[in-house]
Every structure is written in structure tokens, then in C-alpha cells.
Structure 1
Amino acid sequence: MKSFYTILFTIVFTFSGLSQGYQFGIQHNSGYNFSIVAIPDFDATDTDVSDIGFTLMLPAGDTDIINTSQFNGRPWAANQFTAAQLSGAGFGDGTRDAFVINLPPGQSIVSHTTDTPFVIFTFDISNSPTQSFMDLLPNSDPIAMGLGGALDSFFNSNIDNTNTQDYFSGIASGQGSFMFETLDVDDIELENYSIAVYPNPALDILHVSTPFKVQKLILYDILGKQIMSLKDSKSMIVEHLRSGAYFLKIETETTTITKRIIKK
């Protein structure tokens, strides 16, 4: 009888251990600023997070992921598979780009509470799309399966001081996508009509035209690296920059937007 209870306890313990996990979801902050959150189904103190990964699908074209955050001081790596690349390899319908976001292996100690989301990644969407949607690619999607797991979501962590395992448990119901059409009409009109950047392309200086007070201008390169930052200014000197594409993040008293600019 003692051995029976020992076996039963082992089965129950193993089952409960396997039930622990993290779901991922998209959180809309404001405008075109979003976060990816992890939602644990268990309490934990001082868990050792190694590496995390997920794939965001966006409308094909000029829409990019920019102004990316870090995770406990650790930078994320991002790689893009264009709609043309995916469809050329026999995956997708040619309308969606894939952005593979990975936190390289390392160590971050975190604590969390059951069913309480915590932010793992924050970013902006460029070029203000007003149609289509953004979503987290499920591991069961034909694109993810066809590419042999290269686009899979995962959450590798050591939660009990034994060994590191993948505790990703799926995409949270109702939090796997965001429709750009649902952004407030007022927000879209503000971005399209009340804030302008000129000249674009620019040779030596950029100007921001808006009736609102500009609190900060932040310029990023095409890879999301911050190049310059100015406070309380509606102009920025860019004559020293190399020719190419950049992203200008404009923070006003009412909103934050990002516009793509070209330096001649």
C-alpha cells in the first residue's frame, strides 16, 4: 500500500509540474505602442529565465517593429521574413511579414503571481497602419510548422532550481491579435493630419509641424538603435547623418507617434 501511494504521489506531482506554464498575449498601450506579456498559471519567486522567443505577423510592406525594449537589461534580437520570402518558400499567402523576436540565452531572475501578466517586450509599430491586423503566430500554424520550429514561441526557464525547460503553454485567449482598425478615429486623425514632418526626404534639418507641444523627439536608425534625442524642440539637425531611412518618434502632450523619414 505504501508503494501505491508513493506512485500516486509521483504521478500527481509530475502532472502538476507539467501544468505550470506561461501564455503570451498582445497588450495595447496607446497609439501604436504595444507590449508582449507573459501570463503565468502559477506563483513563483526568483525563477531563472533563460531565453524567450515568439513571432509577430504584420501586414506586408513598410510596417516595422521599432523602438524595442530590453528584458531586465538584456537586448532582444529581431529578424524579419518578408511576405515574399515566405510565399516563395511555399508558406503564407504573400500578405504578411513575420518578425521573429528572440531573447538570447542568459539569466534573469523574476517573480510573478498566478494570472497576473508581466511585460517581456515593448515596441512601436511604424507607419501608422489603419487596416489589417497584428498577431502572435501560433506554433501550430502551417508557417511555423513548415519552417521546422524556427518561428516557434518558447519560454525557457528554471522554475524550481533543477533544470531549464520550455514552459510556453500557448497564446492567451482573446489576446493573440490586434486589429489596427480599432484604433480611435481621433488618434488616427491626429497622426495623419495634426502632425507633419518636413521636408521628407531631408538634407540638413527636419521640422515637426503640430499645434501640440512637442515634449521629445527621438531618432532611430532602421535597426531601432537610438541616434539622437531632443527635448522641447520642433526641429532636428540631420545634416551629419548618413543617407538612408530613419524613424522619428514624436512625443507630444497628447500622444506619441513614429514617422518614417528619409535622409538624402
Structure 2
Amino acid sequence: MKSNKITLFNIVFILFSTCAFAQYNFELVKDINPSGLANPHLSIEHNNKLYFSAIDGTNGRELWVTDGTTTGTQLLKNIYSGRGSSYPSSFTEYNGKLYFRADDGINGEELWVTDGTTAGTQLLKDINSSSGSALLRFTVYNGKLYFSADDGINGKELWVTDGTTAGTQLLKDIYTGGTNSFPQNLTVYNNKLYFSADDGTNGRELWVTDGTTAGTQIVKDIYSGGDDSGPSDFTEYNGKLYFSADDGINGKELWVTDGTNAGTQMVYNISYSNSSFPSELIIYNGELYFTANDNINGTELWVSDGTSAGTQMVANINTTSHSYPRNLTIYNGKLYFSADDGINGMELWVSDGYNSGTVMVKDINSSSGSSPISFTVYNGELYFNAIDGTNGRELWVTNGTTAGTVKISPAVAPMSDPISMLVRFVELNNSLFFDARFTTAGRELWKLTTPNLSTHENVTENIAVYPNPVTNILHLQTVNNTNTIELYSITGSLIESWENSTKIDLTHQTTGIYIVKIITQQGVTTKKIIKK
């Protein structure tokens, strides 16, 4: 039971209203399930609205939509009538509508479409009349939507739709005889659609289609003899498609293709003794970064310019074992990720692409790893969730500095594990939406709003603050007289104020992020500062 929910929400709302200069403003968007947990699963922003699934305690897990307001957060359609759940998922934009999979309790899990209205949320086609078609991997290519599905006759194969029932068809039965070819990793490259599939003869190999049955063919049998090369992690770079694959001789290594059989080759044999398992491929600073295990240094951060000689380890983060770099994310011109150096556990790391510039940002959990995950860039900062050893998994933010890596939450009594490990952040109308359990309301839909400093500051007056980051004295430079300077915490609490001054002493303040409010004859300007 959540008997204190309304009172707590009112308290939180009052806190938001009085914290006009807080950097991080939290708001419970809506108490979707007053009697339990809504557990919203956020999916996609479409036409200035956020679509997601949630449980309201009456209809089961169904399709919901929000414009970011309480009144605009509504059940879009109860697809599985009664208390059953339709489990809508895999939302993909195509031709101005959202396509997804859902189970209406009659046809099983099938292909659905919505235009954002209840009446326009409909079953597009019952592909498998005997049970669900188990749709996966929606990918838009050449004006149509491609996916894998099982029609109950041909097995799980490659399908295509133009958005109509008649235009939803099997493209090709790759593994004939009713057996699954399991098309995976659908990726558009060079005006064609590449994927992996098993035709029953060559094993799981690299395939391509131009959208026609005749043009759906195997590119190369990388692992000859019927075994699987298992191509995966497709990433386009420098006009070619890179991926990991196993040729049966060198193990799973880094490969590249230009779309031809002859042009499909191994880039470099990273591990001569076993598979290096390249993964998390990402383009950064004009090169291809990924994780790999050379079976000498363990799984570490690697980089490639597309040549054998230019494929090298960036840094040996863990000199005794694997550092397991994960969640590679570009932010503010650098590459951020989680890694374990063998001393501090899995923590937040950053790299500029060089060994010397690959360093730990902050040891968040000094007793064990904080396991940061779900990195998301929003309004000039990097958000993620981590465990500092105090209150379970919580919301964190960083500007790339140690002092600027802080835990944030509403100004309420903390709940244990307020953020789930698999939380998904989605930006809508300059706010960051996510599911959280900050109060006794349970796990509900929340949003975070921060000022975009480039527009939030008073650009009519040129005020400089320095040094920033600051250790002791912060100086202000302005052409007008400063009437008042106010220092606020990141939660919006006024800490200290000064009158008619051009410098403030922050020696006694703890490290972290603060907001400085500067009042002159010309108006009000706010500045974000970092105390070292």
C-alpha cells in the first residue's frame, strides 16, 4: 500500500517550486499505479510524445503515452483487454507512425501500428494464425520496414512491410523446410541491408538483401564447412562495414566487408591463441574503438584505423586480468566507459584515444566497484546509474571531472535502489525521462529538468567567473556593479550570499557542483561552478 503518496508528492512539488535556481529539478510525472508499482518501460520519443509500457493496476502492462505533463500521461490503448498484459515493445518509427509488437490475447504476439490515437492503434497483420509470430529486429531500409518473424510454416525468416496488411510479406525463406534461419543484426550499409542468417547449409553467415527475393544472398561463407562464423556487431566506418566473425581458424576476430565476397576479410588477428571477441564497436575521433581480448593482456580497449598495422590496444587498464570496458559512450569530445583496473573495481573511466589519456574519472565506490551503466548525454552532462555503497543503485551525473561527478536525487528521504540497473533515459521537450523509486509512490515515471546554460544565462551581460574549477577564491568580472551574489547547492538550497563583492571565498565548501546567482543592475545571471 502507498497511503502516503499524495502527501509526499505535494511535499516534493513544494520543494521543486521553491528551488527556482536548482540545477537539477526532479518531478514525479504521474502516479500511474496508485495501488502498486507501475514499472514503466520507456521506449521511444515520437512526434513530441514519449511512448512506453506500464502497469496501472487495472489493465496489466499496456501501451502508454505522455507529453510530459500529468494530465497528458494516459493509457493509449488496452490492447489485451481485462487484466492481461500485451507487453508492447520494439517500437520503431516508420512513415510517420510507430510499429511495434504486442499480444492482444487472441492472436498472440504480432505486428501492431499506432498513429498516436486509440482508434489508430491496430493490429497490422496476424502473421502466424496459430500463435504469435515472435517478431524481432525492426529496421527501416529503402522505404520499407524489415524484420524477422515466424509465420508458423516457414520458421523465423526475413519479412518486410510497407505499412499495409497486403504489403506485409515474407521476403525470402532462407532456411527452407520450415526451419528457422533467424535473421539477426539487420544493418543498412551502402544502400543494402546486411544481416546474419543460417541457410541450413553454410551455418550462420553474412547475408545481404536489396529488398528483392532474388537479391537476398549470402555474401561470404566465412567459416566454411557448415559451421557458424556468427557475424555480429556490425558498424559502418570509413565506407566499409566492420564486424566480428569466426573463420574457424583464427577464432572470433575483427572483420570488414565492402559488400563483395573478395572484399570480406579479417582485419587483424588480435589473439593468435584464441578468439579476441571484438565487441562494443564505436566510431570516435575518426577511428574505430572496441573491446577485445588478445589473451595476453585480457579484455581491454582497442582501436583500429581499418588496417592491420593500425589495430592496436589503447591501454592495458588492468595489468593483472581483464578490465572489461563496457558501455562505450562519446561525451564532450572523449570516450567514457566503465572498466575494472583490478584495484578499484568497475568504475567510471575516460579516454582521449591515447594510453596516457585513459584514466579513471572517479572511484565512486571505494569498497568495491560502482558498476556504472546506462550512460546518457543530456544538456551538456553525462548521466548514468551507479552504486556508491550507501543506498544501492542511484542516479549520477558527471561533467568529466572528479569533482563534477556527483550523485543527484530529489530532496526527499532516500529510498533503497531508487534506480534500476536497466533504466532507460529518454529526452523529451528538454527534460530527461526515466523510471525511478524515489518515494513511497513506488517505481513510477519521473522527469529531470536542468537549465541549458547556454540559453539560461543572461547573454545581454558579459560576466566571467574564474578560476573554474575553483579551490579557494572565485573572482567575478563584470562591467556593472554586483549587488548580490548567492551560492546554491545542486538541490537548490541557498548556502551563502554576499553583497557588493567581486570575489567569494569557497575554501570551506566541500567539493562538488554549485550554482552561483549573480544580481546586477542589468538583471540576474546564473553560473555553474565546480569546487575542487
TM-score by length of 1: 0.36
Task: Say which structure is richer in helix.
Answer: 1
